[in-house]
Structure 1
Amino acid sequence: MAERGKAPGEFEGNEESIRVRGMQFAYDGQAPLFVDFNLDIAPGSRCLLVGANGSGKTTLLKILAGKHMVGGKDVVQVLNHSAFHDTQLVCSGDLAYLGGSWSRTVGSAGEIPLQGDFSAEHMIYGVEGIDPARREKLIELLDIDLQWRMHKVSDGQRRRVQICMGLLHPFQVLLLDEVTVDLDIVARMDLLDFFEEECDQRGATIVYATHIFDGLETWATHLAYIQDGDLRRVEKLTELDELKSSANLLSVVESWLRHETKREKKKSIKSPTQIQKSLHHGTSPFMSSRHMAYYR
């Protein structure tokens, strides 16, 4: 829990909510995405995970959520446990993941779709072991009509139900992958305020991957920038030099990504000599490569 008088994101002790050491990961038949990847995130942090499409943000969040296995039981630790091997982390609600799919994970039952002919009330009140006061607070916060039929509502309304269900248990670590993309600005800002309260009052930790930066300059405590599977930067927002000269987080991240794109394009352009070498070795310069896939 947070010490009284401490700044947001600063908690006693040296234990990390998330600890990654020497992680390696590759999808079947593909080049490694992560090689010797390291990351520490302290309790109470609200860490923005930024990077271009295909940089590894979603994969990292799924690894932290225990959805992908990596070699070594102690390589990826969440709350001092292996998220993949210790399923109690997810079942207890201490570790929560909200991603892009319209489904929720309920213990060993797997994922339950949120598009069927169910009412919002049926879905939300079907989650057991919930504090009624927290449930009512989330329903009001997200402006959910319990009579909504899940197969008839809009994406934004369905997203509200998904978020509500994912937050019913008082998490200690919350992993968010672009979950606010379908929300209107009022719902998004109210939700960000709720997340800030969870971190400051309970010492919860949030890792949030997003491309929407409105209002995040003062909301986030830390930022982690991933480029093509490499952790390029991780630091407190208050110590980010570029942000000191510009109050706009969007412009700072945009400059990083534009520089990255220009560099990758230069690397992908082959000279006539390189093309001849590729053809000589039986590889067409027009065959799909990792860099070409990156821009698709």
Structure 2
Amino acid sequence: MTADPVPATQANGSQVEHAIDCQSLTYSWVVGTDPVLIDVDLQLVKGDRCLLLGANGAGKSTLLRILAGKKLTQTRCCKILGQDVFMKPPGGVVYLGTEWSTNPVVRSDIVVSHFLDSVGGYRHKERRDRLLQILDVDLDWRMHQISDGERRRVQLCMGLMGDWDVLLLDEVTVDLDVLVRADLIEFLVSESETRGATIVYATHIFDGLKNFPTKICHMQVGSTPRGMVPWPPADVPSDKLDLFTLALGWLREDKVLRKDKEESKGRIRGPKTDTKDRVTFYQKYDYAH
């Protein structure tokens, strides 16, 4: 069993209180198979806002689900608010992922007001009502009749209306329109600055995020080679900050690395013309033959 990680220290010798402390995390879907996460490090203090960047399949969702206590790991190397995320999960942690909207329950014929009350909305009236305004949610909507974007707004209202301390977001803003997304980002920044809440946000959409993160974590083929990258960088003028260009450069690098890694194992991405199914795939609807 891996020993508990040693707490980091500040320059004055005092210990840093990590809201999220994940060190050297390695994880495989099945024991004995190649790991999908390799020596991942993610350490954030209270009030940090971390943007989790990486290509599809880099391990972002797996990491977030582990931090949320939804997957058991073989080592105790992930802690939130000082507690093991699976063996002793802390309170105050909210995970919002994309799978929620496909749940048949949230697509049933239920009025939004009743739905929010059923999950305790009446206990958080002030925050609930503020989020209803930010997310532009109509209490008279019926869950089975609204769009995916509107259903996503209800999910965010439901998840954020409590006094959470750590928020794990996995691509949940992809369905939102630009205005609602901008207002939500402003709300999240305020939560971190006024309450010391910690946020990890995985996304592929970088518009309007220049002032959101305090840290950036690059996930590259299951690992975190750059560690925690401070944002904004001290040596870059504010008018030159460009998250999209930074992410694009990293993703191009990831593509080359992934290709080399897969070829070393005899795997080739893309169309294959020399396989036994070649004729079926390429000529099935080719009427010239």
Query: What's the TM-score bracket when you normalise by the shorter of the two chains?
Result: 0.7 to 0.9
Q: Distance in 2 between matches of 1:223 and 1:61?
A: 15
Q: Which one of the candidate residues 88, 99, 102 is aligned to 1:101?
A: 99
The reply to whether residue 38 of structure 1 matches residue 41 of structure 2 is: yes
The reply to whether residue 25 of structure 1 matches residue 27 of structure 2 is: yes
Q: Which one of the candidate residues 172, 176, 186 is aligned to 2:165?
A: 172
Q: Which one of the candidate residues 198, 221, 233 is aligned to 1:239?
A: 233
Q: Distance in 2 between matches of 1:267 and 1:84?
A: 31
**Structure 1 residue aligned with 2:246:** 252
**Structure 2 residue aligned with 1:290:** none
Q: Distance in 1 between matches of 2:179 and 2:208?
A: 12
- Show CA shifts across 1:92-146 (max 9, x none): 4x00000001259xxxxxx883111111111111122722111111111111111
Q: Is the 8 A contact 2:214 2:231 kept in 1?
A: yes
Aligned-partner SS, 2:110: coil
Q: Which moved more, 1:76-85 or 1:59-68?
A: 76-85
Q: Distance in 2 between matches of 1:208 and 1:237?
A: 14
Aligned-partner SS, 2:204: coil
Letter in 2 for 1:82: D
Identity of aligned residues (%): 39
RMSD (CA atoms): 2.7
Report the CA distance between 1:23 and its aligned residue.
1.8
**Structure 1 residue aligned with 2:86:** 84
Correspondence 1:1-296 to 2 at 5 A: 14-28=16-30, 30-72=33-75, 74-87=76-89, 89=90, 92=91, 94-102=92-100, 113-128=105-120, 130-233=123-226, 234-239=228-233, 246-269=240-263
Letter in 1 for 2:19: S
Q: Is the 8 A contact 1:96 1:173 kept in 2?
A: yes
**TM-score normalised by the chain length of structure 2:** 0.80
The 1:75/1:191 distance shift into structure 2, 3 A limit, reads same
Report the CA distance between 1:53 and its aligned residue.
0.4
**Structure 1 residue aligned with 2:3:** none
The 1:232/1:36 distance shift into structure 2, 3 A limit, reads closer
Aligned-partner SS, 1:262: helix
Aligned-partner SS, 2:35: coil
Q: Distance in 2 between matches of 1:241 and 1:32?
A: 36
Letter in 1 for 2:40: F
Q: Is the 8 A contact 1:102 1:115 kept in 2?
A: no
**Structure 2 residue aligned with 1:293:** none
Unaligned ranges ≥5, structure 1 = 1-11, 105-110, 279-284, 288-296
Count residues with an aligned counterpart: 254
**TM-score normalised by the chain length of structure 1:** 0.78
Unaligned ranges ≥5, structure 2 = 1-13, 268-273, 277-289
The 1:132/1:13 distance shift into structure 2, 3 A limit, reads farther
Runs (4+) off by over 3 Å: 240-246, 266-270
Q: Distance in 2 between matches of 1:243 and 1:178?
A: 29
Q: Distance in 2 between matches of 1:239 and 1:182?
A: 30
